[in-house]
């Protein structure tokens, strides 16, 4: 059944855009149209900003316990819909159900619950005659991508509301459906009008209007580094705060004393998660030269653990890429790697056998990759892994840091003290030692051109707060 969303959510009402156009949402596994969503204009953006500004006065001074009640009701509704969310995202994004239930549905629900608990944790501080308080920054524009749509929405909207801000959410036109589900939840629980607003549209018009609007106090954006640079320039005209979660080219550094098979298997999982459409993907695997040939053999032997599957199947494997455009982009990078002289260990540009439809790309592993190659420098955002050799620990650190990005990374060693010593030298926002799992209470964000600001935990909450000093 074709899903149709012909209204957006502004000031507590479902509103039909005055001059609406429609964008089709394509199921990336079947290439069929699964939904039709209205795209609004600058007029609706302005209406949403007016509504958010009007609501801010009362929402920001509401006691934290009362805001907490609304967020708790929203989180409970979200938790009731986990299977529905996983099913929607399997069709909209292509994330297989087994992974989607955990990362696309369960993780956002856990993050929402965390911010329910943090809502009343903002404290004031007394320094001599100064009372230091933290207050909501104002109206926040939250602009999210298509790869983890609900997680990105929750990681911005919930801490913003918890802090006392009002919000305008703009989802990707490629994967907007869970944003509508979130709006429906806020509507169902009776969130005050104007506190949360949903607008749809393309970046060049609706996104630009939001970022440029003089009555938007902050922009929280997740997406590509190139778009993040544009947003920074547009936002500079009004000196609004900008929090950016951008691209990555993360390196997994496997030291010479690591369990090689375990490290390679985990690194492949981290690089191919969500078919590589993951800004933290460990797409560069650094291996000591003495172990390099053995590592190449192991990778070839385990890459079959990542079959291409229908996202609605219950098995484990890789789904399609999000769109035809993204598939062509990834194939371009694979072809570029071949032309640069990298050795293809697995995958390639050929059409996967037995798959007639869908934006599928075979998991592709390159060996003999020089760190200066394009495939080792640029974010591919697909299932493409580079195997890079190094001679010394110092060289491994240098190669890992030789990137404009600095979002994530990993270190593998049987000596945890040694691994931590290497991790401290990596210029990146997070490091996983021997497969250490992400903690949603820890800060998430990057160094260098991977962005600025932090999400998750109290660090994500603080992004939406201003400090005020009152002297008496």
DSSP sequence for 408-467:
-EEEE-S-HHHHHHHHHHS-SS--EETTPPP-TTS-B--EETTEES-BSHHHHHHTTEEE
What local confidence, expressed as pLDDT, does residue 381 receive? 98
| CATH number of the domain residue 426 falls in | 3.40.309.10
**90-114 pLDDT per residue, tens:** 999 999 999 999 999 999 999 999 9
- Burial code of 108-140, b = ≥16 C-beta within 10 A, e = fewer? bbbbbbbbbebbeebeeeeeeeeeeebbbbbbb
Same-domain check for residues 47 and 120: yes
Nearest-CA neighbor of 199 among 401, 50, 393? 50
Pair 241, 254 in one domain: no
313 DSSP assignment:
S
Helices (H), 96-207: 97-99, 107-118, 149-163, 177-188
Residue 84 shares a structural domain with residue 16: yes
Bridge-based pairing state of the strands 8-10 and 13-15? antiparallel
- Per-residue pLDDT, averaged over 419-428, amounts to 98
- Cα atoms in the Cβ-side hemisphere of radius 13 Å centred on 162: 32
Can you tell me the distance from the alpha carbon of 24 to that of 84, in angstroms, rounded to the nearest whole number?
20
Assess contact for 307 and 353: CB atoms under 8 A. Answer: no
Q: Is 352 in the same domain as 264?
A: yes
Q: Are 455 and 108 in contact (CB under 8 A)?
A: no
**Share of residues in the chain with pLDDT > 90 (%):** 98
The pLDDT, as a whole number, for residue 122 is 87
Q: Which of 341, 363, 367, 339 is nearest to 352 (CA)?
A: 363
Instruction: Give the pairing type, strands 405-406 and 241-245.
Output: unpaired
Domain count for the chain, please give it: 2
Answer whether residue 338 is part of any domain.
yes
Nearest residue to 27 via CA among 85, 75, 89: 89
Residue 121 in any domain: the answer is yes
Q: What is the pLDDT of residue 123?
A: 85
Exposure letters 318-335 (e unless 16+ CB within 10 A, then b) = bbbbbbeebbeebbebbe
pLDDT of residue 121: 86
**Mean pLDDT across 1-30:** 95
**pLDDT tier at 408, thresholds 50, 70, 90:** very high
| Ramachandran angles phi, psi of 210, nearest 5° | -65, -50
Q: Are residues 44 and 181 in the same domain?
A: yes
The predicted pLDDT at position 261 comes to 98
Verify that 233 and 286 share a domain, yes or no: no
Whether residue 445 lies inside any domain: the answer is no
Q: Does 297 share its domain with 396?
A: yes
DSSP 3-state assignment of 298? helix
CA triple 73-74-77, angle to 5 deg:
90
Whether 428 contacts 446, CB under 8 Å:
yes
238 pLDDT above the threshold of 90: yes
Provide Rg for the chain, Cα atoms. Answer: 23
* pLDDT value of residue 231: 98
* Chain mean pLDDT for the chain: 97
In contact, 346 and 364? CB cutoff 8 Å: yes
Report the CATH number at residue 55: 3.40.605.10
Q: What confidence tens digit (pLDDT) does each residue in 17-63 have?
A: 998 899 999 999 999 999 999 999 999 999 999 999 999 999 999 99
Q: What is the largest CA-CA distance in the chain?
A: 75
Structure tokens at 284: 């560069």
**In this model, does residue 449 exceed pLDDT 80?**
yes
Q: Which domain holds residue 385?
A: 250-439
Q: How many residues does the chain have?
A: 472
419 within domain boundaries:
yes
* Residue 205 shares a structural domain with residue 273: no
- Domain match, 271 and 136 both: no
Note whether 215 and 89 are same-domain residues: yes
In this predicted model, what pLDDT tens digit does every residue of 277-327 receive, in sequence order?
999 999 999 999 999 999 999 999 999 999 999 999 998 999 999 999 999
Residue pair 153/179 in contact by the 8 Å Cβ criterion:
yes
Q: What is the mean pLDDT of residues 144-162?
A: 98
Specify the pLDDT at position 272.
98
What the block records as the tokens of 349 is: 């540009």
Strands (E), 158-235: 166-170, 196-198, 218-222
Please indicate, yes or no, whether residues 217 and 277 belong to a single structural domain of this protein.
Answer: no
Evaluate if residue 1 carries a pLDDT over 80: no
CA-to-CA distance for 266 and 271, rounded, in angstroms? 9
Q: Answer whether residue 45 is part of any domain.
A: yes
> Which residues contact residue 102 at a Cβ distance below 8 angstroms, ignoring those fewer than 6 apart?
none
pLDDT of 291 reads: 98
pLDDT given at position 20:
80
8 A C-beta contact, residue 428 and residue 449: no
Residues 456 and 378 in one domain: no
């Amino acid at each position: 059944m074709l899903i149709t969303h012909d209204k957006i959510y502004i000031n507590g009402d479902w509103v039909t855009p005055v001059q609406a156009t429609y964008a089709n949402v394509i199921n990336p596994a079947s290439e069929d149209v699964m939904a039709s969503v209205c795209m609004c204009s600058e007029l609706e953006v302005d209406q949403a900003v007016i509504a958010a500004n009007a609501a801010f006065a009362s929402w920001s001074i509401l006691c934290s316990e009362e805001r907490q009640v609304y967020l708790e009701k929203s989180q409970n509704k979200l938790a009731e819909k986990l299977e529905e969310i996983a099913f929607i995202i399997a069709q909209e994004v292509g994330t297989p159900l087994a992974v989607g239930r955990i990362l696309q549905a369960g993780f956002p629900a856990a993050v929402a619950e965390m911010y329910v608990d943090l809502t009343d944790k903002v404290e004031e501080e007394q320094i001599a005659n100064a009372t230091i308080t933290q207050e909501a920054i104002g109206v926040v524009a939250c602009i999210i991508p298509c790869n983890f749509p609900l997680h990105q929405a929750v990681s911005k909207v919930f801490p913003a509301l918890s802090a006392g801000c009002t919000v305008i959410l703009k989802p990707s036109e490629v994967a907007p459906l869970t944003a509508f589900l979130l709006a429906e939840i806020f509507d169902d629980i009776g969130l005050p009008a104007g506190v949360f607003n949903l607008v749809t549209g393309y970046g060049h018009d609706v996104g630009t209007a939001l970022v440029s609007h003089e009555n938007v106090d902050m922009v929280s954006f997740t997406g590509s580094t190139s778009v993040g640079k544009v947003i920074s320039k547009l936002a500079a005209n009004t000196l609004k705060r900008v929090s950016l979660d951008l691209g990555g080219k993360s390196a997994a550094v496997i030291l010479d004393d690591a369990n090689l098979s375990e490290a390679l298997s985990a690194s492949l999982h981290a690089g191919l998660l969500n078919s590589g459409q993951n800004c933290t993907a460990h797409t560069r695997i650094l291996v000591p030269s003495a172990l390099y040939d053995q590592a190449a053999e192991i990778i070839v032997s385990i890459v079959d653990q990542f079959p291409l599957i229908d996202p609605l199947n219950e098995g484990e494997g890789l789904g399609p890429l999000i769109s035809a455009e993204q598939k062509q982009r990834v194939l371009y990078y694979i072809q570029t790697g071949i032309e640069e002289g990298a050795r293809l260990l697995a995958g390639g540009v050929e059409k996967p056998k037995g798959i007639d439809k869908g934006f599928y790309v075979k998991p592709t592993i390159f060996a003999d990759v020089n760190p200066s190659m394009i495939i080792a420098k640029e974010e591919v955002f697909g299932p493409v892994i580079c195997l890079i050799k190094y001679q010394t620990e110092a060289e491994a650190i240098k190669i890992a840091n030789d990137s404009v990005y600095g979002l994530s990374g990993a270190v593998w060693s049987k000596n945890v003290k040694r691994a931590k010593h290497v991790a401290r030298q990596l210029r990146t926002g997070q490091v996983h030692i021997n497969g250490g799992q992400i903690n949603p209470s820890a800060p998430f964000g990057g160094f260098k051109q991977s962005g600025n600001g932090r999400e998750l935990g109290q660090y994500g909450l603080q992004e939406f707060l201003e400090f005020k000093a009152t002297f008496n």
